[in-house]
């Protein structure tokens, strides 16, 4: 790994982790074009730590309040004073994040007839033989962003008259479950943006767009932690070469770059959403997705990777 690689991957991770363009999809594209099939797991873990710092940096006050609300809920449960309908907005948010995380356990279900679990499909679909999946998932991201934005407009027109829709800020259990399962699908399909699809799911449930985006990022924080821990487990239980062959200065540079770029990406996403400029991501994911589908069809007909000229792997 060179210093340029560390900076480039830090920028790529910081941007695509939070902007609705799919980090897993862009990693699959990078690997497909470059022919790279393996990455340093330890470096990947550290990049996740950098992006985690970005979320905490943007939502620091909210995260502190949520931990306080969680402590309040636990205290009320043990003292017998907890009542679901009497939760304040912070307690409700903390509880809905917990509910939204429950679907993630489905990723560890075994796939009948194989030794794989559902979560392993993400790595499977990232192989160059399944490049068309990345294209389809990116176009699905584009469609979800478009539909979610359309359905979530505050002003609707009926028979030529304008009406102001009442959008909710607080999540309900069904809202959290729907968004949670959407996050699961994003983990399985490289190209399906986690932030974009969960934002759209919240919007389709009638949640105010900024509230939907905040919930998406806050719900994704434990998911980022879980991904980092799973990768760290793989590092610890594999050969020591991952750590021994790494330049820790480059790792630190990658982390800092991922954190700073991620922080700016979240701020940019919030601004673009608030100023109705989401068409940028809708057009981008649609264009890239369609291009990948075309390339994948050509590759499937020839049986070789168009960029590396190597046989496709399934």
Q: Would you list the DSSP string of 240-301?
A: THHHHT--HHHHHHHHHHHHHHHHHHHHHHHHHHHTT-THHHHHHHHHHHHHHHHHHHHHHH
Classify 157 as helix, strand or coil: strand
Mean pLDDT over the full length of the chain? 89
Q: What is the pLDDT of residue 164?
A: 64
208 φ/ψ sector (left φ>0, alpha ψ -120 to 50, else beta): beta
Are 72 and 81 within 8 A, CB to CB? no
Q: What is the pLDDT of residue 265?
A: 95
Helix axes 131-151, 23-34, angle to 10 degrees: 150
What does the alpha-carbon distance between residue 43 and residue 231 come to, in Å, rounded to a whole number?
Answer: 10
pLDDT confidence of 37, banded at 50, 70, 90? low
User: Shortest CA distance to 24 belongs to which of 199, 179, 141?
Assistant: 141
The string of pLDDT tens digits covering residues 93-128 is 999 999 999 999 999 999 998 889 998 898 889 888
Pick the range with the lowest mean pLDDT from 129-133, 151-155, 265-269: 151-155
Are 109 and 117 within 8 A, CB to CB? yes
Q: What is the pLDDT of residue 113?
A: 87
Q: What is the pLDDT of residue 313?
A: 86
Q: What is the pLDDT of residue 35?
A: 83
Are 39 and 231 within 8 A, CB to CB? no
Q: Which of 49-53, 231-235, 237-241, 257-261 has the highest mean pLDDT?
A: 257-261
Pick the range with the lowest mean pLDDT from 10-24, 30-44, 62-76, 149-163: 149-163
Are 102 and 177 within 8 A, CB to CB? yes
Quick one: average pLDDT of 34-40? 69
Cα distances (Å, whole numbers) of residue 137 to 20, 231, 273: 12, 24, 21
The residues that bridge with 161 in the sheet, in sequence order, are: 158
Beta carbons within 8 Å of 95's beta carbon, 6+ residues apart:
73, 87
């Amino acid at each position: 790994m060179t210093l340029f690689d560390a900076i480039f991957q830090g920028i790529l991770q910081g941007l695509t982790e939070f902007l609705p363009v799919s980090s897993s999809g862009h990693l699959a594209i990078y690997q497909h074009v470059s022919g790279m099939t393996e990455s340093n797991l330890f470096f990947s873990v550290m990049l996740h730590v950098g992006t985690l710092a970005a979320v905490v940096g943007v939502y620091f006050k909210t995260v502190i309040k949520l931990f306080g609300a969680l402590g309040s809920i636990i205290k009320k449960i043990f003292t017998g004073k907890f009542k679901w309908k009497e939760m304040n907005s912070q307690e409700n948010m903390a509880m809905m994040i917990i509910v939204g995380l429950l679907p993630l356990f489905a990723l560890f279900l075994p796939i009948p007839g194989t030794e794989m679990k559902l979560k392993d499909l993400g790595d499977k679909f990232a192989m160059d033989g399944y490049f068309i999946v990345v294209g389809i998932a990116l176009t699905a991201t584009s469609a979800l962003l478009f539909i979610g934005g359309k359905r979530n407009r505050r002003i609707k027109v009926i028979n030529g008259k304008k009406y102001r829709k009442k959008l909710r800020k607080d999540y309900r259990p069904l809202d959290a479950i729907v968004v949670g399962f959407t996050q699961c699908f994003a983990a399985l399909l490289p190209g399906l943006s986690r932030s974009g699809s969960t934002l759209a799911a919240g919007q389709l449930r009638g949640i105010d767009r900024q509230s939907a985006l905040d919930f998406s990022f806050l719900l994704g924080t434990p998911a980022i932690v879980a991904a980092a821990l799973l990768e760290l487990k793989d590092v610890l239980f594999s050969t020591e070469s991952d750590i021994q062959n790494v330049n820790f200065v480059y790792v630190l540079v990658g982390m800092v770059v991922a954190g700073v770029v991620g922080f700016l990406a979240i701020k940019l996403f919030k601004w673009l959403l608030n100023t109705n400029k989401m068409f940028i991501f809708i057009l981008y994911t649609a264009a890239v997705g369609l291009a990948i589908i075309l390339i994948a069809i050509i590759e499937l007909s020839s049986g070789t990777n168009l960029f590396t000229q190597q046989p496709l792997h399934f």
